[in-house]
Amino acid sequence: QKEVEQDPGPLSVPEGAIVSLNCTYSNSAFQYFMWYRQYSRKGPELLMYTYSSGNKEDGRFTAQVDKSSKYISLFIRDSQPSDSATYLCAMRSDQGAQKLVFGQGTRLTINP
């Protein structure tokens, strides 16, 4: 079993829809949770960063962490074609070596 599970998709939605992306994890020591966006042939770009449980909002993006269920989500409101990319969740603990563990990434397409 992988430490971080993420449905690779692909996921295709119409412009303006609310998008929900999710990851589950098995390591209860994870405390830092991140979402990255990766456009084709580019490096991962940090979108959202959350420490421990809770919600965080930044513009059209909302990140949620539920540590009791070992489940994290990223919501995109009013989705735009420019949001089409691969979204990767990543997480790490606050102990030991600083290793970010990634999900497989979900490929998202927003259709005009």
Q: Which is nearer to other proteins, 68 or 98 (CB)?
A: 98
DSSP for 54-96 reads: EEEEETTEEEEEETTTTEEEEEESS--GGG-EEEEEEEEESSS
Binding mask 41-80 for other proteins (x = CB under 8 A): xxxxxx--x-x-----------------------------
Question: Does residue 45 contact residue 38 with C-beta atoms inside 8 Å?
Answer: yes
Relative to beta strand 11-14, strand 106-111 is parallel
What is the closest distance, in whole angstroms, from the C-beta atom of residue 78 to other proteins in the complex? 25
Which among 12-20, 21-29, 30-38, 69-77 is the span making contact with other proteins, rule CB under 8 A?
A: 30-38
Q: Give me the least distance between CB of 94 and other proteins, in Å please.
A: 8
**CA 62 to CA 24: how far, in whole Å?**
17
Count CA atoms closer than 13 A to 8's CA, side-chain side: 1
SS3 (DSSP) at 17: coil
Of 23, 74, 83, 105, which one interacts with other proteins (CB under 8 A)? 105
Say whether residue 1 binds other proteins (CB under 8 A): no
Residues that bind other proteins (CB under 8 A): 8, 32, 34, 36, 38, 41-46, 49, 51, 86, 88, 90, 92, 94, 97-102, 104-105, 107
